[in-house]
């Protein structure tokens, strides 16, 4: 097959490209330029869109002897990922931009362009497995390395997207991949993992949002007493479940720590409460995406509500674009805007964006 290997400049996508080549595919390396300012040079090796990263990716492509190109997707990325990120926070939700990037950029804009140019598929360095069924259909499964499993951020892929996706690292652990990169002579073998959000260079999301949305002073209200207990500079800077950075007196009257339990964008209010108020067991999701046919009726699943969270047994019921999920146990700190990804065993069933999380008795 003719395959585009998306190469970020990191160790994972380097090994993924090498494995596709070993498997006999015709591989072309493509680095996505996602930053608005292509000349951005950051001090550290995090993120995935610096000149240095493009150079690292190009060097690996040279070693593999494959053609390499940089595709400019900055405008699409800004519109579909960055602006969506700001709008979601602004509406009091907590988005996952990696998921959005996979949905809109890597397996949409990139894949579509690749197909139009005559390629058959896209390969990335995500840790997840594609399993081919006897009927030829493809299933998305968790990676064998639970510590690195990235099936959560791929839960937005549809069957059509999966049909043209390869994840060559799904059967390996991160240490194995690093070892392989070393054996292959890739000098990116010891490059640190990228983490946080690639377009927020210093990792300070609240400050980044403040630069874009301006300060919007408002009250921090205690859920128990209904009283104003503090002030904030913008409700968008808070996430349900957050404990640090609230600027509240160290000890509340009852001596229990306070967490953000609700962010009300309409009234610009941050509501704090005790830990017991964080537990929820019923989720409503919208923007449902299925990695195969949409399920019918009530299904027994495992539900994961954040990128590196535990899977909780649950029942789910799909209704068009909406999904109702009932968790078998209470889960703390479920933030609207995050995705709930549903699993059957290791298989990804689908995902939805969490709209409301409540406690049903």
| Residue 130 · residue 170 · CB < 8 Å | yes
Closer residue to another protein in complex, CB, 73/278: 73
**Calpha distance 233→268 (Å, rounded):** 10
Query: Counting contacts by CB under 8 A, is residue 317 touching another protein?
Result: no
Query: Counting contacts by CB under 8 A, is residue 326 touching another protein?
Result: no
Residue 163 makes CB contacts below 8 A (sequence gap 6+) with 138
User: What burial class does residue 336 get, using C-beta atoms within 10 Å of its C-beta: 0-12 exposed, 13-18 middle, 19+ buried?
Assistant: buried
Closer residue to another protein in complex, CB, 3/305: 3
Print the binding letters for residues 93-122 with another protein: x by CB under 8 A, - otherwise.
Answer: ----------------xx-xx--xxx----
Query: Counting contacts by CB under 8 A, is residue 78 touching another protein?
Result: no
**Calpha distance 11→146 (Å, rounded):** 18
Q: What share of the chain is helix, strand, coil (3-state, %, to 5)?
A: 30, 30, 40
Known catalytic residue at 48: no
Tell me the C-alpha to C-alpha distance, in Å, between residue 320 and each of 287, 293, 294, 349, 352: 9, 12, 9, 15, 11
Q: Which member of 19, 31, 126, 289 binds another protein (CB under 8 A)?
A: 31
| Residue 11 · residue 36 · CB < 8 Å | no
Residue 28, by phi and psi: left (phi above 0), alpha (psi -120 to 50) or beta?
Answer: beta
Catalytic member of 48, 49, 198, 291: 198
Catalytic member of 48, 49, 98, 101: 101
Tell me the closest approach of the beta carbon of residue 55 to another protein, in angstroms. Answer: 8
Closer residue to another protein in complex, CB, 116/297: 116
Print the binding letters for residues 169-188 with another protein: x by CB under 8 A, - otherwise.
Answer: --------------------
Query: Counting contacts by CB under 8 A, is residue 65 touching another protein?
Result: no
Interaction with another protein in 11-30: which residues (CB under 8 A)? 28
- Match 């996952």 to its residue by tokens: 96
Give the residue numbers of the binding site. 6-13, 32, 125
Positions that interact with another protein (CB under 8 A): 28, 31, 33, 38-39, 51, 54, 58, 67, 69-76, 109-110, 112-113, 116-118
Q: Catalytic residues, which ones?
A: 101, 198
């Amino acid at each position: 097959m003719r395959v585009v290997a998306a190469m970020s400049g990191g160790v994972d996508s380097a090994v993924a490209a090498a494995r596709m080549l070993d498997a006999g595919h015709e591989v072309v390396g493509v680095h996505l330029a996602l930053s608005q300012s292509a000349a951005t040079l950051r001090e550290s090796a995090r993120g995935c869109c610096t000149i240095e990263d493009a150079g690292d990716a190009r060097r690996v492509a040279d070693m593999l002897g494959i053609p390499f190109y940089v595709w400019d997707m900055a405008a699409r990325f800004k519109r579909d990922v960055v602006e969506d990120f700001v709008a979601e926070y602004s509406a009091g939700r907590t988005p996952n931009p990696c998921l959005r990037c996979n949905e809109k950029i890597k397996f949409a804009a990139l894949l579509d362009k690749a197909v139009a140019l005559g390629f058959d598929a896209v390969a990335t360095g995500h840790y997840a497995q594609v399993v081919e069924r006897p009927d030829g259909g493809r299933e998305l499964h968790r990676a064998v390395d639970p510590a690195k499993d990235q099936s959560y951020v791929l839960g937005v892929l549809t069957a059509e997207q999966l049909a043209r996706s390869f994840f060559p690292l799904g059967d390996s652990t991160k240490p194995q991949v690093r070892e392989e990169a070393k054996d292959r002579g890739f000098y990116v073998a010891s490059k640190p993992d990228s983490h946080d959000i690639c377009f927020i260079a210093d990792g300070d999301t609240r400050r980044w949002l403040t630069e874009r949305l301006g300060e919007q002073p408002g009250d921090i209200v205690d859920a128990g007493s209904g009283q104003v207990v503090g002030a904030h500079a913008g409700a968008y800077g808070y996430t349900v479940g957050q404990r640090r950075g609230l600027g509240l007196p160290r000890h509340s009257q009852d001596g229990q720590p306070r967490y953000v339990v609700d962010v009300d964008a309409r009234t610009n209010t941050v509501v704090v409460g005790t830990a017991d108020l964080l537990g929820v067991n019923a989720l409503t999701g919208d923007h449902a995406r299925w990695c195969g046919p949409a399920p019918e009726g009530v299904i027994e699943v495992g539900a994961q509500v954040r990128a590196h969270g535990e899977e909780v047994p649950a029942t789910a019921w799909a209704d068009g674009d909406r999904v109702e999920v009932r968790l078998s146990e209470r889960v703390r700190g479920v933030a609207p805007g995050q995705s709930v990804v549903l699993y059957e065993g290791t298989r990804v069933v689908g995902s939805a964006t969490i709209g409301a999380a409540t406690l049903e008795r």
